[in-house]
Amino acid sequence: MTDDPSPWIWDLPDGGRSNDADALQVRWKAVREAGGWQAEVLGCIGDDPLTLLQRPAADPAAPRLLIAAGFHGEEPAGPWGLLRFIGGADPALLDRVHLTLLPLVNPSGFRAGRRFNDWGENPNRGFGLHAGGIAPSREGRVLMAQAARLGQAGRDGVLSCHEDIKQATFGYLYSLERAPAPGAFSRTLLAANARHFPIHPDGEVDGCPVRGGIVFNRHDGSFEAWTMELGVARAACVETPGQADIGQRVAAQADMAEAFVRFAIAAAG
């Protein structure tokens, strides 16, 4: 903690602080070892490894899914919610998908409870054809070097776990589908969010039109939008209200991750 601590650091319901990256890693290590996950360091950002976890399915034809969390350090419910889902999931459910995880993309921002990394870069901008002249962050460069692999890992769906720290009440999502209007994928994730928070009313959020709680098919240089350029079937960035109770936010993120996995299994028949 610095002398001027971030206002975006919370006490977690089960103890500890929301920005405790060491505790997060210890818990992930236990989950990895118990669940048969394979860990690989894609690269280092300063002294921090950017780690990828994979768990293969029993069936080679099973859906291939990618879930990423922790792009922005003041949005801790994503990393903790993903851990909660994976740590509590029925192994039989996880056996039905090839699942790849990026559990904490921006460790330096996470520890500080700060949006950007230690170099003032936004890890969720600068990707692909719609970067708008923004250079990728250090984290982004590591991920872009793995483009072919990540595109294959998320072939059937990509989920990016975020929070809106300007929101005290509403949940919503950015979704991308190869369709002119939101389909079952978007509605499934929205319904999981709505079990915890009221859905954002129609209007605008960060200059984007939101309708029925969904900002649809916005290509903005984000990681999730970039994965659509890589050929994945669908992608979403889910948003919980960053000023709401941290326990409720973590629970919502975990439920949305589970809904994402269950949707892919159902869609595959």
pLDDT tens-digit profile, the chain (269 residues): 345 679 999 999 999 999 999 999 999 999 999 999 999 999 999 999 999 999 999 899 999 999 999 999 999 999 999 999 999 999 999 999 999 999 999 999 999 999 999 999 999 999 999 999 999 999 999 999 999 999 999 999 999 999 999 999 999 999 999 999 999 999 999 999 999 999 999 999 999 999 999 999 999 999 999 999 999 999 999 999 999 999 999 999 999 999 999 999 999 98
Helix axis angle for 77-88 and 246-268, nearest 10°, is 50
Residue 92 phi/psi, 5° resolution? Answer: -65, -30
Place of tokens 């236990």: 30
Under DSSP, the state recorded for 201 is P
Looking at residue 2, its pLDDT comes to: 44
Looking at residue 35, its pLDDT comes to: 95
Domain boundaries, the chain: 21-268
Of 3.40.980.10, 3.30.450.20, 3.40.50.720, 3.40.630.10, the CATH number of 21-268 is 3.40.630.10
Handedness of CA 154, 210, 74, 87 (dihedral sign): negative
Q: What are the pLDDT digits (tens) for 199-214? A: 999 999 999 999 999 9
The encoded tokens of residue 81 equal 């919610």
Residue 263 phi/psi, 5° resolution? Answer: -60, -45
State the Cα–Cα distance between residues 55 and 168, nearest whole angstrom.
Answer: 35
3-state DSSP assignment of residue 69 = strand
Residue pair 18/9 in contact (Cβ under 8 Å)? The answer is: yes
Q: What are the pLDDT digits (tens) for 30-54? A: 999 999 999 999 999 999 999 999 9
